[in-house]
């Protein structure tokens, strides 16, 4: 455990470790660990990455599918894009010699269920609308713009417009529960909530807006609302903030030609070229500080390795065990992640050539499909489209929302195909499927909380030579994780 001391001498580093003395051991070969390892290797450290699974990259992973016609296609089965609100990932990709690519500007759609106007007893019916280009968490900035009217209809737009003339309703005090759903329903009406906010917030936070507190998920929006007294004006202010794109819903994103997993392949090559080593299948079970507090012993089963510097780059649960009492107790319960399942379908389907739902669909929790989102990857990424024969499409469905532990099974092809048909508005039959793959990510996308970063900083201050990186301290998403990992192992963050 992190608080223990190793008084006995450290045996030589185990076989297959570099011959030179190891200065930095990185525990966890996800993107955070690999970025930290590369930075330290370039700085001259002798770096060893220890990764528990047989494959590096963590949730940035590619997979090659064998297709019915004997060909193959390699696709991302974890992260497939990155937010461009910071230059962190684009800079990394370019430093590694990879081409950063923009998604096709088709835009995405929302899929929801709603009742006929003014009739609470009417059955729910599905509705699919293109997402307005300028919005914050699905909240439109201008109810009368053409794309918003198209999404909401005249009555929905009119109801949203009332917000500008409504009296300001105070933000509840911090100890009073408050939900994004209640806020949007009150200010902008049910149609904005059902058609726009539920799918977008559900996609971004993997949760029902009824369970999301605006003070946690949208503090800037709440601050802007407190100034302006209008949710539409607040959304405009946030959408106009520096770093926000003006032309797509949510944060603007980019990708890497060939897929995000290429960053992982290139990082491993770059670490090795700089003299470092990356080992897979090595599960670290203890980090022990030397008795004099100078240096560490990293233990994995029967093996142990001496290190001057340790970078803990695992998910929260593992880091909590490894760091032990170096980590101050949590002041609140961190929210756990969701059980995410992905189904990738490769389809020969001419009906999809026209990209009927743009680059993909975000799904409201109330909808009649279990999928929470669909990415039409060949519509979104021109490089992937160009790599495949005509009429061939890659469609990725994602399943599993936060707080919904009921579903942990990866859906089978027929279930995924039925969902894809509904979401894309096109009948897709089994004969169209030329390849498929299910991927399971347990406890994924756990939201980072500020007290975790403070705990990690306290552990670092108490234990010289320790650096803690990864999504649980940096925030979910590659933009946050990469930028944080790079800075955390670069002076002045370390000596
Ligand atoms: C399905 C999915 C899709 C996503 N899509 C996107 C996206 O499109 N864009 C985006 O920006 N973000 C996306 N994300 C989030 C993004 O992938 C993560 O925020 C980021 O990759 C986290 O990186 P990490 O290195 O902190 O953690 P991880 O990727 O979890 O890596 C941690 C590593 O530590 C290893 N490890 C654990 N225990 C030990 C141990 N005891 N010893 C040694 N090694 C250990 C693990 O095996 C793992 O490889 C997605 C996530 C998922 C699950």
Structure confidence at residue 420 (pLDDT):
98
Polymer length in residues for the chain: 495
375 forms bridges with which residues in the sheet? 360, 396
Structure confidence at residue 245 (pLDDT):
47
For the cut 70, the answer to whether the pLDDT of residue 7 exceeds it is no
* Ligand 1 atom nearest to 471, measured from its CA: 26
The percentage of the chain sitting over the pLDDT mark of 70, rounded to a whole number, equals: 89
Q: Is residue 108 part of a domain?
A: no
For the cut 50, the answer to whether the pLDDT of residue 9 exceeds it is no
Same domain as 221, residue 188:
yes
Mean pLDDT within 98-122: 86
Structure confidence at residue 76 (pLDDT):
98
Structure confidence at residue 429 (pLDDT):
95
For the cut 60, the answer to whether the pLDDT of residue 18 exceeds it is no
When divided into structural domains, the chain yields a total of: 3
What are the tens digits of pLDDT across the range 267-297? Answer: 999 999 999 999 999 999 999 998 887 899 9
What are the tens digits of pLDDT across the range 414-463? Answer: 999 999 999 999 999 999 999 999 999 987 766 666 678 889 999 999 99
Structure confidence at residue 402 (pLDDT):
67
Tokens of 437: 């793959």
Same domain as 225, residue 138:
yes
Structural domain containing residue 431: 336-444
109 forms bridges with which residues in the sheet? 130, 361
For the cut 70, the answer to whether the pLDDT of residue 353 exceeds it is yes
Same domain as 270, residue 125:
no
Same domain as 287, residue 235:
no
ipTM: 0.99
Structure confidence at residue 187 (pLDDT):
97
129 forms bridges with which residues in the sheet? 110
Structure confidence at residue 249 (pLDDT):
43
For the cut 90, the answer to whether the pLDDT of residue 355 exceeds it is yes
What are the tens digits of pLDDT across the range 92-109? Answer: 999 999 999 999 999 999
pLDDT band at 357, cuts 50/70/90?
very high
C-alpha 59 to ligand 1 mean position (Å) = 4
**What are the pocket residues of ligand 1 if the criterion is a CB atom closer than 6 Å to any ligand atom?**
27-33, 50-53, 58-60, 78-83, 283-284, 313-315, 318, 340, 342, 441, 444-445, 470-471, 476-479, 481
C-alpha 30 to ligand 1 mean position (Å) = 5
> Which residue minimizes the CA distance to atom 30 of ligand 1?
58
For the cut 80, the answer to whether the pLDDT of residue 260 exceeds it is yes
Q: Is residue 83 part of a domain?
A: no
* Ligand 1 atom nearest to 469, measured from its CA: 26
* Ligand 1 atom nearest to 59, measured from its CA: 29
- CATH code: domain of residue 422: 3.90.660.20
Largest Cα separation within the chain, whole Å, is 76
The one-character DSSP state at 67 is P
Domain end among 247, 280, 303: 247
252 vs 461: CA distance, rounded Å: 36
Structure confidence at residue 404 (pLDDT):
65
Q: 88-95 vs 261-273: helix axis angle to the nearest 10?
A: 50
Structure confidence at residue 445 (pLDDT):
67
Three-state secondary-structure class, residue 422: helix
Same domain as 311, residue 383:
no
Structure confidence at residue 10 (pLDDT):
39
- Residues contacting 343, CB < 8 A, separation 6+: 396, 397, 399, 410, 411, 413, 416, 436, 437, 438, 439
Give the residue with greater pLDDT, 447 vs 469: 469
Q: How many CB atoms lie within 10 A of CB 217?
A: 17
For the cut 60, the answer to whether the pLDDT of residue 243 exceeds it is no
Which ranges constitute the DSSP H helices of 193-230? 198-205, 214-217, 219-228
Residue with tokens 């992190």: 2
367 vs 127: CA distance, rounded Å: 9
C-alpha 471 to ligand 1 mean position (Å) = 7
Structure confidence at residue 406 (pLDDT):
65
- Residues contacting 329, CB < 8 A, separation 6+: none
Tokens of 84: 């461009």
Q: Which of 78, 263, 360, 479 to mutate to test the pocket of ligand 1 (most atoms within 8 A of CB)?
A: 78
For the cut 50, the answer to whether the pLDDT of residue 113 exceeds it is yes
C-alpha 255 to ligand 1 mean position (Å) = 17
Q: Which of 478, 480, 488 to mutate to test the pocket of ligand 1 (most atoms within 8 A of CB)?
A: 478
Same domain as 457, residue 321:
yes
46 vs 277: CA distance, rounded Å: 8
* Ligand 1 atom nearest to 472, measured from its CA: 26
Radius of gyration of the chain (CA): 24
What are the tens digits of pLDDT across the range 195-239? Answer: 999 999 877 777 788 988 998 888 899 999 999 999 999 999 988
- CATH code: domain of residue 484: 3.50.50.60
> Which residue minimizes the CA distance to atom 21 of ligand 1?
59
C-alpha 387 to ligand 1 mean position (Å) = 27
> Which residue minimizes the CA distance to atom 5 of ligand 1?
79
Three-state secondary-structure class, residue 55: coil
C-alpha 468 to ligand 1 mean position (Å) = 14
Same domain as 300, residue 217:
no
The whole-chain average pLDDT of the chain stands at 89
Structure confidence at residue 244 (pLDDT):
53
> Which residue minimizes the CA distance to atom 4 of ligand 1?
79
Domain end among 247, 278, 312: 247
Same domain as 278, residue 240:
no
For the cut 60, the answer to whether the pLDDT of residue 6 exceeds it is no
Mean pLDDT within 58-87: 96
Contact call for residues 398 and 373 (beta carbons, < 8 A): yes
C-alpha 29 to ligand 1 mean position (Å) = 9
Tokens of 136: 């914050």
Mean pLDDT within 384-406: 88
What are the tens digits of pLDDT across the range 292-337? Answer: 878 999 999 999 999 999 999 999 999 999 999 999 887 766 666 6
Same domain as 268, residue 329:
yes
C-alpha 482 to ligand 1 mean position (Å) = 11
Mean pLDDT within 16-41: 84
145 vs 226: CA distance, rounded Å: 24
């Amino acid at each position: 455990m992190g608080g223990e001391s190793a008084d006995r001498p450290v045996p030589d580093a185990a076989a297959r470790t570099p011959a030179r003395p190891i200065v930095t051991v990185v525990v966890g070969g996800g993107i955070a660990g690999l970025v930290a390892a590369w930075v330290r290797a370039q700085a001259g450290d002798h770096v060893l990455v220890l990764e528990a699974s047989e494959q590096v990259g963590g949730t940035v992973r590619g997979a090659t599918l064998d297709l019915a016609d004997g060909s193959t296609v390699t696709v991302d089965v974890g992260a497939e894009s990155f937010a461009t609100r910071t230059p962190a990932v684009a800079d990394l990709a370019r430093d590694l010699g990879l081409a950063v690519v923009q998604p096709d500007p088709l835009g995405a759609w929302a899929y929801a269920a709603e009742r006929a106007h003014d009739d609470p007893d009417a059955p729910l019916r599905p509705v699919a609308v293109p997402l307005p280009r300028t919005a914050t968490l699905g909240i439109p900035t201008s109810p009368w713009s053409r794309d918003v009217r198209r999404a909401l209809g005249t009555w929905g737009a009119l109801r949203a417009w009332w917000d500008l003339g409504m009296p300001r309703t105070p933000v509840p005090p911090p100890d009073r529960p408050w939900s994004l759903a209640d806020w949007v329903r009150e200010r902008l009406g049910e149609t904005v909530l059902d058609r726009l906010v539920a799918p977008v917030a559900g996609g971004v936070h993997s949760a029902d807006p009824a369970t999301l507190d605006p003070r946690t998920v949208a503090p800037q929006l709440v601050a802007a609302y407190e100034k302006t007294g209008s949710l539409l004006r607040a959304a405009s202010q946030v959408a106009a903030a520096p770093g926000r794109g003006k032309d797509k819903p949510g944060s603007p994103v980019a990708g890497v030609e060939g897929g995000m997993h290429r960053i992982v392949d290139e990082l491993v090559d770059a670490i090795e070229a700089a003299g470092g080593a990356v080992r897979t299948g090595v599960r670290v079970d203890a980090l022990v500080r030397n008795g004099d507090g100078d240096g560490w012993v990293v233990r994995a089963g029967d093996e142990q390795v001496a290190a001057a510097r340790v970078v803990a780059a695992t998910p929260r649960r593992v880091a909590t065990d490894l760091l032990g009492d170096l980590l101050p107790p949590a002041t609140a319960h961190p929210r756990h992640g969701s059980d995410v399942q992905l189904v990738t379908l490769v389809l020969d389907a001419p009906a999809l050539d026209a990209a009927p739902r743009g680059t993909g669909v975000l799904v409201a929790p109330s909808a009649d499909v279990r999928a929470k989102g669909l990415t039409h990857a060949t519509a979104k990424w021109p490089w992937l489209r160009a790599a495949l024969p005509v009429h061939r499409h890659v469609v990725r469905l994602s399943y599993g929302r936060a707080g919904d532990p009921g579903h942990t099974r990866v859906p089978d092809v027929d279930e995924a195909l039925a969902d894809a048909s509904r979401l894309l508005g096109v009948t897709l039959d089994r004969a169209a499927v030329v390849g498929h793959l299910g991927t399971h990510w347990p406890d994924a996308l756990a939201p980072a909380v500020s007290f975790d970063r403070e705990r990690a900083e306290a552990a670092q201050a108490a234990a010289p030579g320790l650096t803690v990186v990864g999504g649980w301290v940096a925030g979910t998403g590659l933009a946050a994780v990469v930028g944080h990992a790079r800075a955390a192992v670069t002076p002045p963050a370390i000596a």
